[in-house]
Amino acid sequence: MKGKKRLFVSAAVGLILLSVLAAPVAAGTTWTEFEGTSTPVFCGTCSPGRVWVSEDGVLHMRGMQELYYNNYGDPRITGYDLVTVNVNLQLPAAYGPMWCTARLENENGYWEGSAVGYRTEQGYSYIQEVLHGHGAYEGLQARLDLVRENPAMDAPFVVHGVIMDPGGD
């Protein structure tokens, strides 16, 4: 129980830090909601990163790269997303906290940011992500909630989010 409480506190602190690091929303900000899926794709050049199991039965992964195709219904934030993942998963059920950085690219620019989340004992994943736009998306921010309630690692995430434009009407 003590380990779960520490894990919860760590995840909560991570979420607080993520929200503090995100730019504040101005009064005239336009919010555009979107939803869709983030689907893993084969990544022949992706990296497994460093992987080890500690004496207390925790699987540690640092710098593992995964490629996703995000189809969110808004062309500004649809495209390929290279995610660099870190996890501390309690074995044998493989549950625990995860955090990552992401870079989503398409023909008009790219988005970069970070995310924190948790994988449950049932294999479900819940992630919150903040991205900042570059190129044609300069000045925009996106906040996303990603949910995968399927233990299969190749199952897509269901995503709900919002793009915030501080220069909007």
The total number of residues written for the chain in this structure: 169
**pLDDT tens-digit series, residues 79-108:** 999 999 999 999 999 999 999 999 999 999
User: How many domains does the structure of the chain reveal?
Assistant: 1
Distances (CA, A) of 20 to 13, 17, 25, 104, 141: 11, 5, 12, 22, 14
> Domain containing 65: what range?
2-165
The CATH number assigned to the domain holding 59 equals 2.40.350
For position 21, what pLDDT does the model report?
47
Band of pLDDT at residue 46, cut at 50, 70 and 90 = confident
How are the residues of the chain apportioned to helix, strand and coil, as percentages rounded to the nearest 5?
15, 55, 30
Residue 167 in this model has a pLDDT that exceeds 90: no
